[in-house]
Amino acid sequence: MITRIRTTLRRDEGASAVEYGLLLAAIAAVIVAVVFLLGGKVKTAFQSTCTSISTGQGGTAC
């Protein structure tokens, strides 16, 4: 009986909340890294597009 209880308690089925938390933290870290690495390039692209649109339509600001 005690052996059966011990084996039941030792089973690792499914992920625990800690594992899900670690996974979420890793995903968030990747997102932050991508934003920092590509943020300047995206900003430059949007500014270039805004400038092109505003000069083509008589100088309206974006």
Q: Averaged over 18-43, what is the pLDDT?
A: 93
Count of structural domains, the chain: 1
* Half-sphere exposure of residue 12: CA atoms within 13 angstroms, side-chain side: 4
37 part of a folded domain = yes
62 part of a folded domain = no
7 part of a folded domain = no
Question: pLDDT at residue 47 above 70?
Answer: yes
Name residues whose C-beta falls within 8 Å of residue 61's C-beta, 6 or more positions apart in sequence: 54
Find the domain containing 51 and state its range: 16-55
pLDDT for the residue numbered 61: 62
pLDDT for the residue numbered 24: 96
60 part of a folded domain = no
51 part of a folded domain = yes
Q: What is the mean pLDDT of the chain?
A: 83
pLDDT for the residue numbered 58: 56
10 part of a folded domain = no
36 part of a folded domain = yes
